[in-house]
A and B are shown apart, each in its own frame.
Chain A
Amino acid sequence: MELLDNLALGFSTALLIQNVLYCFVGVLLGTAVGVLPGIGPTATVAMLLPITFSFEPVTALIMLAGIYYGAQYGGSTTAILINLPGESSAAVTALDGHEMARQGRAGPALATAAVGSFIAGTVATVVLAVAAPPLARVALQFGPAEYFSLVLLGLIMSIALARGSALKALAMIFLGVLLGTVGQDIYTGTPRFTFGQRELYGGIDFVSVAVGMFGVAEILRNLENEQTRTAIVGKVKNLWPTREDRRRIVGPILRGTGLGAALGVLPGGGHVLASFTSYAVEKRISKRPQEFGRGAIEGVAGPESANNAAAQTSFIPLLTLGLPAHPVMALMVGAFIVHGITPGPNVITDEPDLFWGLIASMWIGNVLLVLLNLPLIGLWVRMLRIPYQVLFPMIILFAAIGTYSLGFNAYDVYAIVFFGLLGYILIKCGCEPAPLLLGFVLGPLLEENLRRALIINRGDASVFLTRPISAVLLAVAVAALVLAILPAIRKRREVVFAEDE
């Protein structure tokens, strides 16, 4: 009953006219920056934070949160339409989503993303309301050793992102990990692979890599053959998912939601893992794994739901313990402080209307996002009819502006050019960019937690096996690795035997 009282309080706060209005402004802005390549939610929240100083604290937080999860929604749109992911999660959506768009099925892909996100958002809101404080306690059980094992498991699963050879996928993961080491080492301050350029001290920005490897490389590939491009436009089929589609997406959406909600709670980077863990799971259990990477609707439904669920449950450590899990959350801590609220475990009891109001607003925000996005699908799909010679310079222009606005660093823009060419060459060599991108995102996390666990335990590596959660995760990782390379080994042996004969 207490829960109902709390939710009533939450909705009475969230449904105040100014709160609904700013929730809408937040999700609208979020969708816009999610759609625009380059400008991510972190930059947007940083830019808009000062404006919210004059708001009521709860209104300010509702709007900032709306920008964050709205951007997760919007990010899938450009990933699907023009293969331009702005966040690591959207890179997974691009795999099958953009393939669907090429087959003239952009509409169903976008609709699936919207519906999946809505269901995930609703479930995650319930999780937040029912179990936030105990979940946060569980999340704190995760120390450096557990994160290391979790990320290792994630990296191994990311082999599943490739549709081609597992060996090439592994090579791409390693290349990504290597690129992720560029910049100052956080433990010693030693610059690595910076070639004396101070601009590289902060590392290579994810957006530059993603925009280059996916977006620009895709443009180069399209320009190579104008004919294929026209062909896609000609065959835009249905806007909405067919009955068969609807049947196929139910399972992935539910599994993705569960997976995402669980991973999102972990403050040390769980939300990063959500979307592609879901992709790997769906591909593994699918009866048609060969369709993945060639426009499987499950490959959009699962990751998109996982991503949105994780985006929402990642608020749990912030709201219940005052501990930020993401740069956007760190900015929201700033918003708390400016409004004279000390972020910490006391927020739930001291500011119940704020805590419950924010949770209720997330559900309202999800409703607004669906209302906003479903009607837009027709419009987005029409965008594909813009002649390509007009569309591609615009994409590059927006990508350059967005990337530059990250930190007003010209190097980020040069990096798009570099990664665009690299991405094009890799595609030509039959190597896929998705595993590289995930290696790039997870590599630094892996290294950071490996070294931290070893520092804390004075170099004793047995900690990874003696801590139970870590040991279980490692065991699953080994199993996943064996499953992934077994077919390849078998094939190799067949070839060897064939030669023997």
Chain B
Amino acid sequence: MRTTIRYRAAARMIAAIGVVSLAAACSGNGGTTGATGATDGEGFPDQNITIVVPFSAGGPTDTVTRMIAEPMAAKLGAKIVVQNVEGAGGTVGAGEVGRAEPDGYTVLMHHIGMSTAPALYKDLGYQPLESFETVGLVTEVPMTVVARKDFAPATLQDLVAHVKANADKVTMANAGIGAASHLCGLLFQTAAGVKLQEVPYEGTGPALTDLVGGQVDFMCDQTTNTSGQISAGEVKAYAVTTPERVKSLPDVPTTTEAGLPKLQVSVWHGLYVPKGTPQDVVQKLSEALKAALADQKVVDQMAKLGTAPVPAEDATPQAHRAKLEEQLGTWAKVIADAGIKAS
């Protein structure tokens, strides 16, 4: 008797687990392909919208996406599902959205990597300007130049002088080929007019670990990752790479103030839909994005990350496209000059 009951309980549990895992597998797949819905903007949206994040859950880009997803959904009156499609510096997820049905139900959140991928990867399978419609910019995350806490130079100008004099000794970490920290590092070398030994890591976590441990000398990374270590005095901060100081790091000067104005870089994020999406659908998404960026909760959450929403006029398809074009040009040159290829 007892045995049968236990058997049933086991069967039920196995069945339940099966359903959960099946649901997980299906939700992942169903979202991306996106059902073919209305092709004009009339009834948009009449089903769930999927925002594809081409990076892992919990990362800065994913966090930003989830922050804006809720208020955007409220404005649009539809559910928004955030889906992570990782791989190859964001090119896997971007390619998937590029090939999706152009109906506005599959949206891509991508960062600065959209503008660097064509220079880094061959056979990308999509072209940023030809395969996507821009929807609007979201945020520009500042970067910081940081060093191990016992590194000799005291200011950014000292740092430039020091690395120039000791180019054969200094090491500069980054989070891997094409990562924001790598791009910022390249710009630093260009701005400072020096070629340094770069030490790539697999992601920011290990790179920052070795910087805090004093195994490498310095690096450049997003405030999202560095501000905690800076405030605690575990690493030394020389500058932020944006025109204005960052609220959460009031004592850290901008690169312009610190005497290296050419080092300007931010991890800008934007929303994209596949090419051929009806204009009024794009417009509706852009309006929803604007509403989300004006949401006080979003502003507060972003402030904690050391960043802020872009001004309303930048959350438009036009401003976003202009930014993308400008950045594609900038990075094509920087990456070609450095002779870097990710594939």
415-436 of chain A: CB within 8 A of chain B: none
What is the 8 Å Cβ interface bit string for chain B, positions 59-81, against chain A (1 contact, 0 not)?
Answer: 11011001100000000000000
Name the one of A32, A186, A190, A337 contacting B202, with C-beta atoms under 8 angstroms. Answer: A186
Specify the chain A residue showing the minimal Cβ separation from B6: A379
B259 on the A face (CB < 8 A): no
- Contact between A382 and B63 (Cβ–Cβ < 8 Å)? no
Q: List 14 A-B contacts (CB under 8 A).
A: A39-B21, A47-B57, A184-B88, A189-B342, A189-B343, A190-B343, A198-B92, A324-B205, A342-B231, A346-B232, A379-B9, A402-B21, A407-B86, A456-B215
Name the one of A140, A337, A347, A448 contacting B214, with C-beta atoms under 8 angstroms. Answer: A140
Q: What residues on B are CB-neighbors of A39 within 8 Å? A: 21, 24
Q: What residues on A are CB-neighbors of B203 within 8 Å? A: 330
Q: How far is it, in angstroms, between the C-alpha of A340 and the C-alpha of B200 when the chains are bound?
A: 29
A200 CB, nearest partner CB in chain B, Å? 11
What is the 8 Å Cβ interface bit string for chain A, positions 298-342, against chain B (1 contact, 0 not)?
Answer: 000000000000000000010001111101011111110110101
Inter-chain residue pair count (beta carbon < 8 A): 171
A368 on the B face (CB < 8 A): no
Q: How far is it, in angstroms, between the C-alpha of A187 and the C-alpha of B9 when the chains are bound?
A: 51
B22 on the A face (CB < 8 A): yes
Q: Please choose the segment from A88-96, A141-149, A355-363 that sits at the chain B interface, where 4 or more of its residues have CB less than 8 A away.
A: A141-149
A267 on the B face (CB < 8 A): yes
- Contact between A338 and B205 (Cβ–Cβ < 8 Å)? no
B212 on the A face (CB < 8 A): yes
A53 on the B face (CB < 8 A): yes
- Contact between B7 and A408 (Cβ–Cβ < 8 Å)? no
Add 15 more A-B contacts to A39-B24, A186-B202 (CB < 8 A).
A45-B58, A186-B177, A189-B341, A323-B205, A337-B60, A337-B63, A338-B63, A340-B304, A346-B228, A401-B21, A405-B24, A407-B86, A407-B87, A455-B171, A456-B199
Known contacts A189-B178, A189-B343, A323-B208; is A345 also within 8 Å of B120 by CB? no
- Contact between B215 and A191 (Cβ–Cβ < 8 Å)? no
Q: What residues on A are CB-neighbors of B341 within 8 Å? A: 189
A452 on the B face (CB < 8 A): yes
B28 on the A face (CB < 8 A): yes
B330 on the A face (CB < 8 A): no
A164 on the B face (CB < 8 A): no
B residues lining the A interface (CB < 8 Å): 3, 6-7, 9-10, 17-18, 20-22, 24-25, 28-29, 32, 56-60, 62-63, 66-67, 82, 84-88, 92, 120, 123, 125, 168, 171, 176-178, 197, 199-203, 205-206, 208-210, 212-216, 224, 227-229, 231-232, 234, 248, 301, 304-305, 340-343
A73 CB, nearest partner CB in chain B, Å? 16
- Contact between A332 and B58 (Cβ–Cβ < 8 Å)? yes
- Contact between A345 and B56 (Cβ–Cβ < 8 Å)? no
- Contact between A344 and B228 (Cβ–Cβ < 8 Å)? yes
Specify the chain B residue showing the minimal Cβ separation from A338: B63
Q: What residues on A are CB-neighbors of B213 within 8 Å? A: 140-143
Name the one of B82, B197, B212, B215 contacting A144, with C-beta atoms under 8 angstroms. Answer: B215
Specify the chain B residue showing the minimal Cβ separation from A201: B88
Specify the chain A residue showing the minimal Cβ separation from B58: A334
- Contact between B228 and A342 (Cβ–Cβ < 8 Å)? yes
B32 CB, nearest partner CB in chain A, Å? 8
Q: How far is it, in angstroms, between the C-alpha of A190 and the C-alpha of B121 when the chains are bound?
A: 10
241-287 of chain A: CB within 8 A of chain B: 267-268
Known contacts A398-B21, A405-B24; is A323 also within 8 Å of B29 by CB? no
What is the 8 Å Cβ interface bit string for chain A, positions 36-69, against chain B (1 contact, 0 not)?
Answer: 1001000001110110010000000000000000
- Contact between A143 and B24 (Cβ–Cβ < 8 Å)? no
Q: How far is it, in angstroms, between the C-alpha of A338 and the C-alpha of B59 when the chains are bound?
A: 10
- Contact between B210 and A144 (Cβ–Cβ < 8 Å)? yes
Q: How far is it, in angstroms, between the C-alpha of A188 and the C-alpha of B25 when the chains are bound?
A: 33
Specify the chain A residue showing the minimal Cβ separation from B60: A337
- Contact between B28 and A345 (Cβ–Cβ < 8 Å)? no
Specify the chain A residue showing the minimal Cβ separation from B28: A408
Q: How far is it, in angstroms, between the C-alpha of A47 and the C-alpha of B228 when the chains are bound?
A: 26
A258 CB, nearest partner CB in chain B, Å? 24
A487 on the B face (CB < 8 A): no
- Tally of A interface residues using CB under 8 Å: 66
Q: What residues on A are CB-neighbors of B208 within 8 Å? A: 323
- Contact between A405 and B229 (Cβ–Cβ < 8 Å)? no
- Contact between B305 and A404 (Cβ–Cβ < 8 Å)? no
Can you list the 8 inter-chain pairs with the closest CB atoms, starting with the nearest? A334-B58, A344-B228, A140-B213, A342-B228, A143-B215, A189-B342, A331-B58, A46-B57
B227 CB, nearest partner CB in chain A, Å? 6
A344 CB, nearest partner CB in chain B, Å? 3
Q: What residues on A are CB-neighbors of B228 within 8 Å? A: 322, 342-347
- Contact between A448 and B199 (Cβ–Cβ < 8 Å)? no
Specify the chain B residue showing the minimal Cβ separation from A268: B206
Name the one of A317, A334, A402 contacting B62, with C-beta atoms under 8 angstroms. Answer: A334
Q: What residues on B are CB-neighbors of A340 within 8 Å? A: 301, 304
- Contact between A32 and B229 (Cβ–Cβ < 8 Å)? no
Q: What residues on B are CB-neighbors of A344 within 8 Å? A: 227-229, 231-232, 234
- Contact between B176 and A186 (Cβ–Cβ < 8 Å)? yes
B11 CB, nearest partner CB in chain A, Å? 10
- Contact between A188 and B177 (Cβ–Cβ < 8 Å)? yes
Specify the chain B residue showing the minimal Cβ separation from A331: B58
| Residue of A39, A322, A325, A382 ringed by the most chain B CB atoms within 10 A | A322
- Contact between B205 and A405 (Cβ–Cβ < 8 Å)? no
- Contact between B177 and A189 (Cβ–Cβ < 8 Å)? yes
Specify the chain A residue showing the minimal Cβ separation from B168: A458
Q: How far is it, in angstroms, between the C-alpha of A408 and the C-alpha of B202 when the chains are bound?
A: 22
Name the one of B25, B66, B248 contacting A405, with C-beta atoms under 8 angstroms. Answer: B25
Q: What residues on A are CB-neighbors of B248 within 8 Å? A: 342
B123 CB, nearest partner CB in chain A, Å? 8
Q: What residues on A are CB-neighbors of B232 within 8 Å? A: 344-346
Q: How far is it, in angstroms, between the C-alpha of A331 and the C-alpha of B59 when the chains are bound?
A: 7
Q: What residues on A are CB-neighbors of B209 within 8 Å? A: 140, 267-268, 317, 321, 323
Q: How far is it, in angstroms, between the C-alpha of A331 and the C-alpha of B18 when the chains are bound?
A: 25
A53 CB, nearest partner CB in chain B, Å? 7
Specify the chain B residue showing the minimal Cβ separation from A404: B25
Q: What residues on B are CB-neighbors of A53 within 8 Å? A: 66
Q: What residues on A are CB-neighbors of B63 within 8 Å? A: 334, 337-338
A489 on the B face (CB < 8 A): no
7-23 of chain A: CB within 8 A of chain B: none
- Contact between A335 and B58 (Cβ–Cβ < 8 Å)? yes
Q: What residues on A are CB-neighbors of B342 within 8 Å? A: 184, 189
Q: What residues on A are CB-neighbors of B123 within 8 Å? A: 198
- Contact between B231 and A346 (Cβ–Cβ < 8 Å)? yes
Q: What residues on A are CB-neighbors of B28 within 8 Å? A: 405, 408
- Contact between B168 and A456 (Cβ–Cβ < 8 Å)? no
